[in-house]
Chain A
Amino acid sequence: MREGSGGSGKGEGAERRRLLPRPSQPLQLGSLPRGYQFLPTPGASAKEVGASRVPALFTKWGPRAASEERSPLENVTPRAVATLPPARTMSSFSRAAVLVLLVASGGLSHFSRAAAQIGPPEVQLEAEDTSIIINISPPGTINSSMWATHFTYSLVIWKNSSSVEETRHTVYSGEKINDLLPETTYCLKVRARLPIQKKSGSYSPTLCINTTAQHKLPRPENVEVDAVNNYILKWNYPYENMNFQVQYLLGYYKRIPSDYSDKWKTVSDCKRIVSRHCDFSEEITTDGIYYLRVQASNGTITSFWSAERKFDTRIHTRRGPPSIVVKPHKDSLSVYINVPGESEKKPTSQDYPLIYEVIYWENASNIENKMIVKQKLFEVSDLKPLTLYCLKVRALLDNEKSSKGSQFSNVECSKITPDEPKKTWIIVICFIFVAGLIFIAYGLKRLQKLVKYVFYPSCKPPSNMDEWFSNQPLKNLLVTSEEQTESCIIEKANIIVLEETNQNGKNDVCNKQDNHDSGNYSNEDETSSNKMTEEKLEQETMQLETV
Chain B
Amino acid sequence: MTSWTFLPVALVLLFSSTLCSLGCDLTQGLLEDFSLLHQMSPFSLGPCWKDRTNFNFPKEAMLQRENGTVIVHEMLQQIFTIFSLSATPAAWNQTQLMQLLSGLHQQLEQLERCLGQDVEWEEPSLGSVNPRLALKSYFQGIRQYLQGKEYSHCAWEIVRVEIRKIFLFMNKLTRNLMN
Contacts and interface: CB of A to CB of B under 8 A. Distances in A.
A288 interface: yes
A350 B106 contact: no
Nearest to B127: A31
A287 B99 contact: yes
B40 to A, nearest CB: 13
A198 B112 CA distance: 10
B8 interface: no
B31 to A, nearest CB: 10
B126 A33 contact: yes
A251 to B, nearest CB: 6
B28 interface: yes
A32 B123 contact: yes
Contacts of A33: 126
Interface string A30-51: 1111100000000000000001
A288 B105 contact: yes
B137 A26 contact: yes
Contact of A288 (B106, B111, B128, B130): B106
Contact of B84 (A114, A152, A256): A256
A38 to B, nearest CB: 13
Interface residues of A, number: 39
A196 interface: yes
Contacts of B28: 345-347, 350
SS of A interface (majority): loop
Nearest to A314: B106
Interface residues of B, number: 53
Interface stretch (A143-151, A413-421, A422-430): A143-151
B134 A252 contact: no
Interface in B124-174: 124-130, 133-134, 136-141, 143-144
Interface in B13-30: 20-21, 23-25, 28
B125 A351 contact: no
B140 A26 contact: yes
Given A27-B137, A252-B102, A196 B115 contact: yes
A252 B23 CA distance: 21
Contact of B136 (A148, A152, A198, A314): A148
A288 B102 contact: yes
Contact of B105 (A32, A255, A345, A346): A255
B95 interface: yes
18 contacts: A27-B140, A30-B129, A31-B129, A31-B130, A32-B133, A34-B126, A196-B74, A196-B115, A251-B106, A252-B105, A285-B95, A286-B99, A288-B105, A347-B28, A350-B20, A350-B21, A350-B25, A351-B110
Interface of B: 20-21, 23-25, 28, 32, 56, 70, 73-74, 77-78, 80-81, 84, 95, 98-99, 101-106, 108-112, 114-116, 120-121, 123-130, 133-134, 136-141, 143-144
Interface of A: 26-34, 51, 114-115, 146-150, 152, 195-198, 250-252, 255-256, 285-289, 312, 314, 345-347, 350-351
